[in-house]
Structure 1
Amino acid sequence: MEFVIKISQFLLSLSLLIVLHELGHFIPAKLFKTKVEKFYLFFDVKFSLFKKKIGETVYGIGWLPLGGYVKIAGMIDESMDKEQMAQPPQPWEFRSKPAWQRLIIMLGGVTVNFILAYVIYVAVSFAYGDSVVNVNSLKDGYWVANETLEEAGFKTGDKVVSINDIPIINDSDIGLNIIKAEKITVKRGEDTKTIDLPEDFLGQLSSSGNRDLFEYRVPFMVAEIADTSANKANNIKVGDIITSVNGKELKYFDQLDEVVGETKNTLVTAEIIREDKRLTTELKVDKDGKFGLRPYKIHPKFEELGYYEVTRKSYTFGESFGAGWRKFTKTISNYGDQLAAIFNPKTGAYKGLGGFKAIYDQFSSVWSWPYFWGLTAFLSIMLAILNLLPIPALDGGHVMFLLYEMVSGRKPSEKFLEQAQIVGFFILIALVLFANGNDIFKAITN
């Protein structure tokens, strides 16, 4: 069921972004009376899952979900239709249009992606408002389970005070500032400690296989009982909170190993809270010192129990435009920082570059519309920025040559554009192989 939910969100988000991006090219092309031969969701290598010709355009769905495209007559693109380009230019072709019209057509896709992201942020702000966890409400700090963080000097119980001297107020501020982090100041007990991070900290995080940073310290609330669990038939249910084992208090899930200790392949006495009632039951500890129970990492009950405080803010229709703009600009800035880190070999951030699996993994295993739309808005910005990179096979490459033409007054030859398109195509293939290869490597090694 978890797979069905995640893959449904992944395909819905991807399809929406691709169709609207290509629509951004399609609409100005039609407005400037340019012939659009194909409009496709996904790639139709050899055959299509569906296609129908309406007017002069064939609309279809391909079988290869690596993107989509519009084929505009008289344009050198990934189709490399040399036969058409060998014919005399026709007035309805892309190459016959003024440079400014061609520029608008090429920028249409990324423009729609940026607009879509902003509209989503406005709508989500108005419909759901904002919910943030204030770091000061985490009474006993964070759970540090990532080996990279531990090796850097962080410990469970640390409270994050600042990153690069930027105060951390809300939990979400950590993710926004970690990309450029050089030092992190934490409060440990009564002491304040500043930890200097290695230059390749991001690379180390990517190589560790554990993307979790500072996690909430929450109780052991049962989210799932594995079919192979020795406790499948015992008196334990989803939603139960285990509060002690053999008389030892278990306030946080991260204390489990310490509380269970060396107890293995034995029965232990556990106190649990079920629907606000305290019960005692026996649980089996397996050979690895585990119960075979998956805990919740986040649950509305945790706020009720006082483990952290959630601050909620709602927006009027008018206020949502400002709130959406702040999220929009902050996301663009943050993603720009990510790209800068990736292209800087010293940071090692390129090791974290992922493909379709990495994107799929970002979707929630439970359907949450606020999370879905927030992630879709981020992916829309990501798609727009990546398409603006000056690589010939991308929109940014076409824009680069068009700007050259408009400034110099000279149009690059079609032969040059064809060769540039081939080079750009191979660069893209190399990037796709590298990113998806990273996904495969991590799946094998972790």
Structure 2
Amino acid sequence: MDIVIKLSQFLLSLSLLIILHELGHFIPAKLFKTRVEKFYLFFDVKYSLLKKKIGETEYGIGWLPLGGYVKISGMIDESMDKEQMALPPQPWEFRSKPAWQRLIIMLGGVTVNFILAFIIYIGMAFAYGDTYIANEDLKDGLLIESPVMNTVGFKTGDHIVSVDGEKIVKFDNDLTMKVIMAKEVLIERDGAQQAIKMPNNFVDQLSKQGKSTLLDIRRPFVIGSVTDGSKNTALQPKDIVVALNGQPTKYFDQVKTVLENNKNKTITATVLRDQKEVQVPIIISKEGKLGVQPGGLGMESLEKLGYYKVSKQEFGFLESIPVGITKGKDQLVGYGKQLKMIFSPSTGAYKQVGGFKAIFDIFPNTWSWQVFWNITALLSIMLGVMNLLPIPALDGGHVMFLLYEIISGKKPSDKFLENAQMVGFVLLITLLLFANGNDIYKAIVGK
């Protein structure tokens, strides 16, 4: 069932983005009286799953879910319709329209992508507000157990003050990405501030450590369940370990440290049970384990127990507009930085480029509209930026040649555009194979 929910979100998001992107080309083409022969969700190589012709346009769904397209008459695109291009230009064809109209048609898709992302962020600000923990309320710092983060110089309990000079006001999901792409992170440890220089190949180092949480809030040690055969039957689900041998253990990481230092011993644990402190004897294995499965607490429960103050900010409709625009701008700038790292071989970030499986994996196993829209907005920005790259066969490649035509007054020959389209197509296939090959490699090696 989990895979069905995950797949449903993936296909719905992908379909929405493709259809709206292609509408961005379709609408201005129709406004400029340019004939659109096909409008397809997914590619119809050899055959279509569904198709219906309405007026001069065939609408359909292909079987290959690698994108979608609109086939515009008189345009050199992925269809490589040389027979049509060999005929005299017709008034309804793309090639017969003024350069400024062709430019608007080509920019339509990415424009819709960016507008969609900003609209989603505005809608999310209005519908969900902003829930976060203020950075100043993280009195005991963050949980940092990543081996690479430790090697760079971070420790659990560090308080992140700023990233590349930007003061950190709140702890949220964006902080991890800011640290990953940072050049310098200012932390506070034991009352003193110190700057940590991030290595240029930090992303490459992260890829070698496998899956590990970089940054998180520190949480208490909660008993989820006692495993079969465990000697610690005195422990009960939902118990919170608050002390071991009289030593306060407010956080999970503190409990782990005490267990590591008392292997193969019997000690006394103080647990919070039904809002009362209870002392129980516990037996620590020679591996430093209790024979329990850890549980978790939601933010509301953590707040009630006094661990954190959760801030919730709600916005009216008009207030949501600048909030959503700021969020969209930050994501756009952040993705631009990611691309810069990917195209810089020394960072090793290119090794983390993923294909369709990587996109599929970011969707959760449970349905959440808030998470769905957040991912869809980010993917919309990614789709818009990628399509703007000046690669023939992408919108950006067509825009590049159109700008050359507008500035120079000279239109590239059809032969040149055909060759450029072919080169661009080969390059895109290569990038597609590389990205999805990375997915396969990571699946094999388990990273």
TM-score (norm 2): 0.88
Return the offset for 1:425: 0.9
Give 1:261's aligned residue.
Answer: 260
Give 1:331's aligned residue.
Answer: 331
Return the offset for 1:358: 2.1
Q: 2:79 aligns to what SS in structure 1? A: coil
Amino acid at match of 1:168: I
Q: 1:33 aligns to what SS in structure 2? A: coil
Give 2:120's aligned residue.
Answer: 120
Give 1:427's aligned residue.
Answer: 427
Give 2:214's aligned residue.
Answer: 213
Q: 1:118 aligns to what SS in structure 2? A: helix
In 2, the alpha carbon distance for the partners of 1:157 and 1:410 equals: 62
Return the offset for 1:222: 6.1
Give 2:197's aligned residue.
Answer: 196
| 1:110-148 deviation per Cα after TM superposition (whole angstroms, max 9, x unaligned) | 111111111111111111111222122122211112111
With over 3 angstroms needed to count, the CA separation of the structure-2 counterparts of 1:304 and 1:47, relative to structure 1, is farther
Q: 1:261 aligns to what SS in structure 2? A: helix
In 2, the alpha carbon distance for the partners of 1:51 and 1:279 equals: 68
In 2, the alpha carbon distance for the partners of 1:203 and 1:297 equals: 33
Residues 282 and 290 of structure 2 are in contact (CA less than 8 Å); yes or no, is this contact kept in structure 1?
no
Give 1:72's aligned residue.
Answer: 72
Amino acid at match of 1:39: F
Q: 2:65 aligns to what SS in structure 1? A: strand
Report whether the alignment pairs 1:16 with 2:13: no
Q: 1:58 aligns to what SS in structure 2? A: strand
Return the offset for 1:220: 3.3
Report whether the alignment pairs 1:293 with 2:322: no
Give 1:97's aligned residue.
Answer: 97
Residues 249 and 259 of structure 1 are in contact (CA less than 8 Å); yes or no, is this contact kept in structure 2?
no
In 1, the alpha carbon distance for the partners of 2:264 and 2:41 equals: 54
In 1, the alpha carbon distance for the partners of 2:362 and 2:325 equals: 23
With over 3 angstroms needed to count, the CA separation of the structure-2 counterparts of 1:373 and 1:412, relative to structure 1, is same
In 1, the alpha carbon distance for the partners of 2:276 and 2:24 equals: 57
Q: 1:293 aligns to what SS in structure 2? A: strand
In 2, the alpha carbon distance for the partners of 1:17 and 1:76 equals: 23
Give 1:367's aligned residue.
Answer: 367
Residues 342 and 350 of structure 1 are in contact (CA less than 8 Å); yes or no, is this contact kept in structure 2?
yes
Report which stretch shifted further, 110-119 or 49-58. 49-58
| 1:336-394 deviation per Cα after TM superposition (whole angstroms, max 9, x unaligned) | 11112221222222222222222223223333322221221111111111100000010
Give 2:160's aligned residue.
Answer: 160
Return the offset for 1:417: 0.8
Residues 51 and 61 of structure 2 are in contact (CA less than 8 Å); yes or no, is this contact kept in structure 1?
yes
| 1:292-336 deviation per Cα after TM superposition (whole angstroms, max 9, x unaligned) | 636448543223223222222111211111111111222211111
With over 3 angstroms needed to count, the CA separation of the structure-2 counterparts of 1:128 and 1:402, relative to structure 1, is same
Amino acid at match of 1:219: P
Residues 270 and 280 of structure 1 are in contact (CA less than 8 Å); yes or no, is this contact kept in structure 2?
yes
Report which stretch shifted further, 178-187 or 258-267. 258-267
| 1:258-278 deviation per Cα after TM superposition (whole angstroms, max 9, x unaligned) | 344388999999776566566
In 1, the alpha carbon distance for the partners of 2:286 and 2:92 equals: 73
Give 1:144's aligned residue.
Answer: 144
Amino acid at match of 1:143: L
Residues 118 and 328 of structure 1 are in contact (CA less than 8 Å); yes or no, is this contact kept in structure 2?
yes
In the alignment, structure 2 segments of 5+ residues that lack a partner are none
In 1, the alpha carbon distance for the partners of 2:402 and 2:237 equals: 60
In 1, the alpha carbon distance for the partners of 2:120 and 2:279 equals: 48
Return the offset for 1:401: 0.8
Aligned length in residues: 443
Q: 2:170 aligns to what SS in structure 1? A: coil
TM-score (norm 1): 0.88
Return the offset for 1:418: 1.0
Give 1:185's aligned residue.
Answer: 186
Q: CA RMSD for the aligned pairs?
A: 3.1
In 1, the alpha carbon distance for the partners of 2:326 and 2:43 equals: 35
Residues 299 and 310 of structure 2 are in contact (CA less than 8 Å); yes or no, is this contact kept in structure 1?
no
Q: 2:113 aligns to what SS in structure 1? A: helix
Percent identical = 57
1:82-93 mapped onto 2 (5 Å cutoff): 82-93=82-93
| 1:376-419 deviation per Cα after TM superposition (whole angstroms, max 9, x unaligned) | 11111111111000000100001111111111222111111111
Q: 2:154 aligns to what SS in structure 1? A: coil
Amino acid at match of 1:416: F
Residues 216 and 297 of structure 1 are in contact (CA less than 8 Å); yes or no, is this contact kept in structure 2?
no
With over 3 angstroms needed to count, the CA separation of the structure-2 counterparts of 1:266 and 1:57, relative to structure 1, is farther
Report whether the alignment pairs 1:28 with 2:28: yes
Amino acid at match of 1:327: K
Give 2:251's aligned residue.
Answer: 252
In 1, the alpha carbon distance for the partners of 2:64 and 2:327 equals: 33
Residues 179 and 338 of structure 1 are in contact (CA less than 8 Å); yes or no, is this contact kept in structure 2?
no
Residues 43 and 66 of structure 1 are in contact (CA less than 8 Å); yes or no, is this contact kept in structure 2?
yes
Return the offset for 1:422: 0.9
Amino acid at match of 1:202: V
In 1, the alpha carbon distance for the partners of 2:202 and 2:41 equals: 38
With over 3 angstroms needed to count, the CA separation of the structure-2 counterparts of 1:410 and 1:240, relative to structure 1, is farther
Report which stretch shifted further, 395-404 or 273-282. 273-282
Amino acid at match of 1:444: I
Residues 21 and 113 of structure 1 are in contact (CA less than 8 Å); yes or no, is this contact kept in structure 2?
yes
| 1:172-204 deviation per Cα after TM superposition (whole angstroms, max 9, x unaligned) | 363463254222222222332222222212222
Residues 179 and 341 of structure 1 are in contact (CA less than 8 Å); yes or no, is this contact kept in structure 2?
no
In the alignment, structure 1 segments of 5+ residues that lack a partner are none
In 2, the alpha carbon distance for the partners of 1:373 and 1:310 equals: 22
In 2, the alpha carbon distance for the partners of 1:53 and 1:265 equals: 75
